[in-house]
Amino acid sequence: ILNVEQSPQSLHVQEGDSTNFTCSFPSSNFYALHWYRWETAKSPEALFVMTLNGDEKKKGRISATLNTKEGYSYLYIKGSQPEDSATYLCAFRYRDGGTSYGKLTFGQGTILTVHP
């Protein structure tokens, strides 16, 4: 059983605050680590797909880092805005010669609320 854990479960911040979340995952048989944003009544949307140890990716005010040796990833949001309010999910894909195609193990998510 693959265990993917996210912390914190929920977070309330003020507009303009910077924040970060953690995702921990198995450090063996690693293939990729995904981050998704899921806004209420919308589809989950991919933010990043990270595959290499030490990867850092950035999209606007959001960035992520990856440590595959110790099995964790951080997602950072700089200068949070109310429109950043959503559930942030990380998901792990294990290495298995192709049979894990499309099969991601998700964490429970971090619910972010940004107050104006």
Partner 1 sequence: SAVISQKPSRDICQRGTSLTIQCQVDSQVTMMFWYRQQPGQSLTLIATANQGSEATYESGFVIDKFPISRPNLTFSTLTVSNMSPEDSSIYLCSVYGGELFFGEGSRLTVL
Residue 102 binds partner 1 (CB under 8 A): yes
Identity of the residue, 45 or 96, whose beta carbon is nearer to partner 1 in the bound complex: 45
Residue 34 binds partner 1 (CB under 8 A): yes
Q: How far is the CB of 4 from partner 1 (least distance, A)?
A: 7
Q: Which stretch binds partner 1 (CB under 8 A): 20-28, 35-43, 66-74, 75-83?
A: 35-43
Q: Which amino acid is residue 77, in one-letter code? A: I
Q: Which stretch binds partner 1 (CB under 8 A): 17-25, 65-73, 78-86, 99-107?
A: 99-107
In our burial notation (b when 16+ CB lie closer than 10 A, e otherwise), range 83-100 reads ebbbbbbbbbbbeeeeeb
Q: How far is the CB of 34 from partner 1 (least distance, A)?
A: 6
Residues that bind partner 1 (CB under 8 A): 4, 34, 36, 41-46, 49, 89, 91, 101-109
